[in-house]
Amino acid sequence: MAFILIAGLCMLGLGIGGILYAPAILEAQRKRGATPVRAEAIGQKDRLRATRGVGVAFAVFGGLLIAYAIL
């Protein structure tokens, strides 16, 4: 169960980091040219929402893993 708890804590931390630092992540991707091939078809607002959505998914799943490990 310790492995599940550690994995949950890591996922929770990555999720919260993704939510908080989404604008910085997108800016770093833009500077390095790591944007999608059809970046002009996807607005900045949509990319930000998608990045934060992935962060929320990680945080929720991490929280569920933590709850499973504790209970």
Ranges of each domain in the chain: 2-70
What does the pLDDT read at residue 37? Answer: 67
Q: Is 7 exposed, middle or buried (0-12, 13-18, 19+ CB in 10 A)?
A: middle
Task: List helix spans (H) across the chain.
Answer: 2-20, 22-32, 44-70
pLDDT in tens, 14-68: 999 999 999 999 899 888 888 776 666 778 888 899 999 999 999 999 999 999 9
Q: Which two tokens stand for residue 21?
A: 């630092």
